[in-house]
Amino acid sequence: MSVEERLPEPSNPLGMDGIEFIEYATSQPQAFGALLASMGFAPVARHRSREVMLYRQGTMNLIVNSHEAGTATPQLSAIALRVRDAGYAHRRSLDLGAWDMPTRAAEMELLIPGIHGVGDSLIYFVDRYRDFSIYDVDFLPLAGADPRPPALAGLHWFGVVQAILPDRTADWLDFYQTLFGFSVLPQGKYFGVLPKGTLLESPCRKFYLQLIEPPPGAEEVRWNEELVRVGLGAPDVPRAVAALRARGIVFVDRGPVQPSDKGALTQPYLGGVTFELVVSHLAP
């Protein structure tokens, strides 16, 4: 599926250029590490002073933070955005009414500025990602590890799914449009196998956010505002599903959520973490 009709060029006030890393917090980094390995991620470096690990797969950086992590079930705790000037992005966000990141949450030795996102999550701004890597300073490479492990079946970041409370779509649209320049895709333009909610395209057109209100009739379901899962793009979903199944990953295979050419959803692991595959034209 591709977005055939390009809307007029949206503004990109921060010079956004994709996702630098996704961070999870968990008090069980070994169990989560094993799951990530099954998903094709390889550990490549360890933080110099804290219980933080860097995993990588192709273009994707994934940080597992166990420093003072409260819950065993891995929680999506941060999105780091590549921007032109991190200091500017941070100041502009605060001027527009974003909440500054608490200093104690700054897990990096390098000063990576950030703001509060949904729930307890943070949004970091990273501007050093071309000729210099933030990981070179904060992390020690694992001996013998390939620093550039290839992606399994061309997997790459496709997007992040965020749960929101009823009637909150407009509020969060204001948030993402005003602070970052995200634009809303027309209703009906869906990707993957979970067609619901509202899709926002990043101003750099390199990833998506999906906002989902609770479905009708779900009044009894516990529904918090939080980041719920990442979407991994795959040029060929059945091939990616086969490769992941061979590594032991189990996909939901019932009702409308079945692996297809469009996408697939893993079963919940470790008490609730899932990964979604989405057919993707986004070049890794």
Partner 1 sequence: MNLDRFGMDTVTLAGSLEAKLAAMRAAGFSQVMLNSTDLVGHPGGEAAAITAVRASGLRVTGFQVLRDFEGLDGHLHAYKVEVAKAMLQMCRALGARVLLACSSSSAHATGDPERLVADLRKLAMLAVPHDIRIAYEALSWGRHVNDFVQACELVEQADRANLGVALDSFHFIASGTGLEALDALNPEKLFLVQLSDFLWQEARSPTDRIETARHYRVFPGEGVHSEQVATLVRRVDAMGYRGDYSFEVFNDDYRSLPPTMVAERARRSAGWVSGLVSRRTLPARRRRG
Binding segment toward partner 1, per CB under 8 A, in 81-89, 162-170, 198-206, 253-261: 162-170
Q: Measured from the CB of residue 260, what is the shortest distance to partner 1 in angstroms?
A: 34
Q: Measured from the CB of residue 97, what is the shortest distance to partner 1 in angstroms?
A: 3
Query: For the window 224-243, what string marks contact with partner 1 as x by the rule CB under 8 A?
Result: -x------------------
Q: Assess 213 for contact with partner 1 (CB under 8 A).
A: no
Q: Assess 253 for contact with partner 1 (CB under 8 A).
A: no
> How far is 73 from 244, CA to CA, in rounded Å?
21
Binding segment toward partner 1, per CB under 8 A, in 171-179, 199-207, 232-240, 241-249: 171-179
Q: Assess 166 for contact with partner 1 (CB under 8 A).
A: yes
Q: Assess 99 for contact with partner 1 (CB under 8 A).
A: yes
Query: Cα torsion at 281, 202, 156, 224 (round to 10°)?
Result: -120
Give the list of residues 6+ apart from residue 106 with CB closer than 8 angstroms, or none.
112, 114
How many residues touch partner 1 under the rule CB under 8 A: the total is 22
| Nearer Cβ to partner 1 (146/174) | 174
Q: Figure out which of the listed residues 46, 50, 84, 116 binds partner 1, where binding follows CB under 8 A.
A: 116
Q: Measured from the CB of residue 174, what is the shortest distance to partner 1 in angstroms?
A: 5
Do β-strands 75-82 and 19-25 pair in parallel, antiparallel, or remain unpaired?
antiparallel
Q: Alpha-carbon torsion 36, 210, 26, 206, what sign? A: positive
Q: Assess 117 for contact with partner 1 (CB under 8 A).
A: yes
* Phi/psi-derived region of residue 240, left when phi > 0, alpha when psi is between -120 and 50, beta in every other case: alpha
> How far is 243 from 245, CA to CA, in rounded Å?
6
- Kindly write down the DSSP assignment for every residue of 208-266, as one continuous string: EEEEEPPPTT-TTS---SEEEEEEEEESSHHHHHHHHHHTT--B--BTTB---SSEEEB
Evaluate whether 194 touches 24 at the Cβ level (below 8 Å).
no
Q: Measured from the CB of residue 175, what is the shortest distance to partner 1 in angstroms?
A: 5
| Nearer Cβ to partner 1 (210/266) | 210
Q: Assess 102 for contact with partner 1 (CB under 8 A).
A: no
Q: Assess 172 for contact with partner 1 (CB under 8 A).
A: yes
Burial class of 145 by CB neighbour count within 10 A (0 to 12, 13 to 18, 19+) = middle
**Interaction site with partner 1 (CB under 8 A):** 95-99, 116-118, 165-168, 170-175, 178-179, 219, 225
